[in-house]
Amino acid sequence: MKIAVILGGFPKLSETFILRQLTGLADLGHEIDIYARRNPREASVQPDVHRYGFLARTQYYELPAGRLARLGRALRALAAAFPRHPGAMLRCLNLARYGSAYAVLNNLIFAAPFLDRHYDVIYCFWGGNGVDFIVLKDLFPGTRFVNRFGGDDYDLGDELGVAALALLRNRADAFIVQTDCYGRATLRRYGFDDAKIVTYRHVIGVGDIPFRERRFDPERLRIVTVARLVEKKGLEHGIRAVALLQGQNPHLRVEYRIIGDGPLSGRLSGLIRELKAGDTVELLGARTTTEVMRQLDEADLFLLPSLMEQAGYVLLEAQATGLPVVATRVGGVPEMVREGRSAVLVEPGDAAALATALQGMLDRAAEWPAMGREGRAHVEQQHDVERLKPRLAEILRGQP
């Protein structure tokens, strides 16, 4: 198949799961072009981005922020494309259908690169992009349009109103979610046809991840979290919980490392100082996948204190390495672990409950190896890219 992939930003270190899907499709012989709103220009790039030549196949929109600049960009796109594709350009201008002048301007800009190309499938990541790019289904009705939900886009219907999703809901051919208990249920609540919703879980390269059974060291406990430093990740509660754990176990050196960056870096640093936990908690900032995997391999426990988590990819990586997990019972997390077997789950927003769960892990440290084996087996059976990459191609083709 010839597949057009629509993304917000590419490449992004934090979106390993997207890269896994792209490389999996490429390994099966499919031709992939990428259309990204912007280039994040991050300092590091995953090696597979270069290995598969994805940058050479990526087109960036880099939309101007100002209204006049965006108008000028849209008019230039219209002038360039209209002589060859007048019908398509006129359909882009259908204000009654698309609802706003802003959407019409975006239509002209987004559609222009597609007009001289043919794709079998347009694979669009995120609901917000789906709302903006569904115009392509109107222009190319014979091309399948598959939209993947999986992040804050699950809140779109509440934030913008269900009507804002109507065109996407009615015109797209399929919608991919990662979990049933959260993803599928949310789209159904917004009125999406359940027959169009397909559950395709996060995939990881399990065979590339070394497994190690964890054994308790009575002198040191190493805990790790990998998460963006944003409110919904609940990191304040994780820091408070680990500080409580250290206070309850003065004989034990607890080391809690948080990998990730984000707008709450300063606030969380202040909390660490306030709790006098500088010897216990360390914010490591963003790290490459190689460094993340090294930190996971060195740790004894994985902690994810999220207030909301649609389908935590890092839970899969942690379990694949053999890490027992303490996490919160939110969103799709219960489907990402084997509760009571590879992970202990508690209610969100409760530092004391997290501390109790961590203490419970210490008290039952003899069970860590069995928990690690359970976690690895779960990821191998439900999330291994080698098992699942043919299924993604089937979904994109429209095969049941």
Assign residue 132 the CATH number of its domain: 3.40.50.2000
- Do 240 and 292 fall into the same domain? yes
Tokens encoding 161: 């109103």
Inside any domain, residue 218: yes
- Do 243 and 180 fall into the same domain? no
Percent of the chain with pLDDT over 90: 86
Inside any domain, residue 102: no
Smallest CA-to-CA distance from 121 within 400, 399, 397 is with 397
Inside any domain, residue 172: yes
Inside any domain, residue 11: yes
- Do 338 and 257 fall into the same domain? yes
- Give the residue numbers spanning the domain of 30: 2-62+118-203+385-397
Inside any domain, residue 99: no
Number of domains in the chain: 2
Asked if the model's pLDDT at residue 15 lies above 90, the reply is no
Smallest CA-to-CA distance from 50 within 22, 31, 25 is with 22
Residue 312 pLDDT: 81
Asked if the model's pLDDT at residue 17 lies above 90, the reply is no
Inside any domain, residue 164: yes
Inside any domain, residue 38: yes
- Do 160 and 229 fall into the same domain? no
Inside any domain, residue 318: yes
CB neighbour list of residue 232: distance below 8 Å, 6 or more residues apart:
306, 307, 308, 309
- Do 311 and 212 fall into the same domain? yes
Residue 94 pLDDT: 95
Asked if the model's pLDDT at residue 398 lies above 90, the reply is yes
Tokens encoding 212: 């190690």
pLDDT tens, residue by residue, 345-370: 999 999 999 999 999 999 999 999 99
Smallest CA-to-CA distance from 362 within 226, 239, 245 is with 245
Smallest CA-to-CA distance from 149 within 119, 169, 170 is with 169
Residue 16 pLDDT: 83
Asked if the model's pLDDT at residue 68 lies above 90, the reply is yes
Question: If pLDDT is split at 50, 70 and 90, which confidence band does 400 have?
Answer: confident
pLDDT tens, residue by residue, 28-42: 999 999 999 999 999
- Do 177 and 298 fall into the same domain? no
**Residue bearing the bigger pLDDT, 208 or 6:** 6
- Do 251 and 199 fall into the same domain? no
Residue 287 pLDDT: 87
Question: If pLDDT is split at 50, 70 and 90, which confidence band does 65 have?
Answer: confident
- Do 138 and 273 fall into the same domain? no
- Do 237 and 344 fall into the same domain? yes
- In whole angstroms, give the CA distance from residue 361 to residue 375: 15
- Do 271 and 174 fall into the same domain? no
- Do 233 and 170 fall into the same domain? no
Tokens encoding 388: 């699942």
- The mean pLDDT value of the chain amounts to 95
Paired with 31 in beta bridges are 2
Cβ atoms 32, 5 nearer than 8 A: yes
DSSP string, 62-101: ---SSHHHHHHHHHHHHHHHTTT-HHHHHHHT-HHHH-SH
Question: If pLDDT is split at 50, 70 and 90, which confidence band does 137 have?
Answer: very high
Residue 389 pLDDT: 87
Residue 294 pLDDT: 96
pLDDT tens, residue by residue, 157-190: 998 899 999 999 999 999 999 999 889 999 999 9
- Do 155 and 224 fall into the same domain? no
DSSP string, 297-310: HH-SEEEE--S--S
Residue carrying structure tokens 């939309």:
63
Question: What kind and span of H or E run contains 103?
Answer: helix 101-111
Question: If pLDDT is split at 50, 70 and 90, which confidence band does 244 have?
Answer: very high
Long-range contacts of 193-196 (CB under 8 A, 24+ apart): 193/169, 196/172
Tokens encoding 64: 């101007």
Percent of the chain with pLDDT over 70: 100
Average pLDDT over residues 216-240: 97
Residue 14 pLDDT: 78
Chain-centroid distance, C-alpha 217: 33
